[in-house]
Amino acid sequence: MSYQSILQAGSFNNRNIIVTGGGSGIGRCTAHELASLGANVFLIGRNKEKLQTVKDEILADGGQAAFFCCDIRQEVDVKDLVDKIIDQYGQIDGLVNNAGGQFPAPLSKISKNGWDAVISTNLTGGFLMAREVFNQSMSKNGGSIVNIVADMWGGMPGMGHSGAARAGMANFTQTAAYEWGHAGVRVNAVAPGWIASSGMDTYPDDFKVVLKSLKKAVPLGRLGNEAEISSTLCFLLSDAASYISGTVIRVDGAASQGNTAIYPLKKADNLKPYKGFHREVEPELFK
């Protein structure tokens, strides 16, 4: 079995696309879909074992992939990484800024170190990757960048550090789209809602109880899956989105559009998730 992408076969033939945070979750899924559509995928992360596993999966499925270990929070490392990829493989056609991480905590309990760690990963690292990809390649050849943000428009209680970082990345997306458009570079973002991904298994047990109840606050009555984010990312990277730049697409089942205290949700019917990823792994907490 292979990836069941909704996009046309060969959509990314011979295109070099970087996926940060490619060792798990949405990054892993997106790397698989891009490779199934013909892209040469470069997986970026800090965990060599995870990156190797995803690379092996893609190769076994007939795709092309390589991986590079890098801490995207380190400016010199990012510059060297992008230079190395270009030197070995040529121009970079796409970048998926997916790497991120956070932990649940109220603002009053977040230390400066905790705040800085989340801002560095979710905002600064994405900026560094985008800047270097633009300066070293896309400024001359054009390309497409897609950033991952989150549903932070009404605040992000319990994860204020991540909300601040994601809001910053949304604004960076708009600014970069304007400044870099002259070079044929499109910059967009995707804001996932509550997605059933392997990352959910890393949260503390008390927070997992909250995760299990989230679907009750989604008008579509369920959590999303990784393929439903990947398909949007791939569309924005594709030629079909050639006049879309500077926008953020929410993929959240309409959860960000209302308030259950004011308008209680009705029982959802006709739940039909898009199941494109043939290697999808259900989070343990939902089994």
Please give the DSSP secondary-structure letter assigned to residue 188. E
Question: Looking at the domain assignment, is residue 58 inside a domain?
Answer: yes
The Cα–Cα gap between 65 and 67 comes to 7
Question: Looking at the domain assignment, is residue 3 inside a domain?
Answer: no
Which tens digits make up the pLDDT trace of 117-136? Answer: 999 999 999 999 999 999 99
What CA–CA distances, in Å, run from 50 to 59, 99, 114, 247? 14, 13, 24, 31
Number of domains the chain is built from = 1
DSSP 227-287: HHHHHHHHHHHSGGGTT--S-EEEESTTGGG--TTTSPPPPP---------TT----GGG-
Residue keyed to tokens 């308008």: 263
pLDDT exceeds cutoff 90 at 67: yes
Residues with Cβ < 8 Å from 7, sequence gap 6 or more?
A: 33, 37, 231, 234, 235, 238, 240
Regarding pTM above 0.85, the answer is: yes
Question: Looking at the domain assignment, is residue 75 inside a domain?
Answer: yes
Tokens of 147: 């950033």
pLDDT exceeds cutoff 90 at 198: no
Domain that holds residue 265: 16-279
* CA dihedral (56, 51, 198, 245) positive or negative: negative
- C-alpha angle 122/123/125, rounded to 5°? 85
